Amino acid sequence: MSRYDVAAYVWPAYTGQEKRSRIFWPEGIGEWQTVKAMQPFFEGHLWPRKPLWGYVEEANPDVMQMQIDAAVSHGVNTFIYDWYWYDDRPFLENCLSDGFLKAKNNGRMKFYLMWANHDARHTWDLRNSDTNLETVVWSGQVDRTRFEIATNRMIEQYFRLPNYYKIDGKPVLAIYDIKNLIAGLGGVERTKAALDDFRARCVQVGLPGVHLQMLSGWMQFFDLGKIDPSSAGNQLDAVHLLGFDSVTNYQFVSFTNVQRDYLDILPDVEKQYRIFDREYDISYFPHVSVGWDCNPRYRRLHPNIITNNTQENVEQGFRLAKDYADNHPNQPPLITVNSWNEWTEGSYLEPDDLYGYGYLDAIKRVFTEE
């Protein structure tokens, strides 16, 4: 049993149950359609890769029962579900509501939501991903009314469940795109008012509030004034103005050049840890990415590829995160990992025909066996 909360992001697109997803993946098997179609772009390109468990339906509770057992037995005890709200309704919610939460053993794991409030573009559509990337299929922005509808759904369906991940009794909600949040709600002050009301609605149902977690990107390019002309500052200012409780990352690609050897990236990761530790007065939870290669989603080569991300090298990333958690005993021992199943971004823990259970075994060695 691990004393760490190792939380892996879940990309809930490997299902045919979400009918709206067929505009991107018409075969009705979700983004497995893209994974199956992938061919290598150059000699030595480590594709195609095949899942050892097959192209499974991840909105099936029996499938998720198997995956939960595999995750927990290797030290992954929390799933962070990417959660979408497009066109006034949830999108890709099936893997969580019909798969994970209906699995007989879901009580073995915690979970929480990451509101992936970015715009939906043609990145998910292999037929158009090289030509129409600026086309917005659905906007991720919400106004105050839609914000309240979406967050009420979170409160009513998820936050009070016994296995929802909480810090100090507060359900954790990660938010992917703080810029889109502020833009949709109409500026910093209106966003603060909406978040304060969100906290109050959580209290009204018997919760002590909500723990808001921001996913950090390229901090040096964050200009609050470009989102809200009445405000000024950077990402750090926005976090404090809005009252976020913690910060973590989603992917190495969001803060460093990934067209390199995995071991060459790790010093930048350590640097990122130190920056957050020094500049933020809220908890930073260390992040580890397994890899990056988004070429399954494109017809032309995208050269930003992490190389040499063997299980042995990724294990060194896990050890960095463990050391950070050990050196911050006054905060929860939470580590975020990209990802459980981001196959089309080349960053997943699920076993494949290249490394088998290697990444999961690395987590087990670092977080459970020592």
Long-range pairs for 65-68 at CB < 8 Å and ≥24 separation? 65/103, 65/104, 65/105, 67/350, 68/100, 68/103, 68/105, 68/106, 68/108, 68/109
**Which tokens go with 131?**
């030509």
HEC string of 128-196? CCCCCCCCEEECCCCCHHHHHHHHHHHHHHHHCCCCECEECCEEEEEECCHHHHHHHHCCHHHHHHHHH
| CATH at residue 344 | 3.20.20.80
> Model pTM greater than 0.85?
yes
**Residue numbers of the domain that contains 82:** 5-367
For residue range 256-299, list pLDDT tens digits in order. 999 999 999 999 999 999 999 999 999 999 999 999 999 999 99
Could you give the CA distance from residue 177 to residue 227 in angstroms, rounded to a whole number?
A: 12
Which residue type sits at 113? L
Query: Could you count the other beta carbons within 10 Å of the beta carbon of residue 1?
Result: 6
> Cα–Cα distance between 257 and 237 in angstroms, integer?
25
pLDDT tens digits along 125-163: 999 988 777 889 999 999 999 999 999 999 999 999 999
pLDDT in tens, 5-41: 999 999 999 999 999 999 999 999 999 999 999 999 9
Please state the φ and ψ torsions of residue 270, each to the nearest 5 degrees. Answer: -60, -40
Token pair 């690609």 in the structure block, residue: 253
Q: State how many domains the chain has.
A: 1
C-beta atoms surrounding 28 within 10 Å: 14
Q: Do you find a cis peptide bond into 48, omega within 30 degrees of 0? A: yes
Q: What single string gives the DSSP state of each residue in 223-249?
A: -HHHH-TT----HHHHHHHHT--EEEE
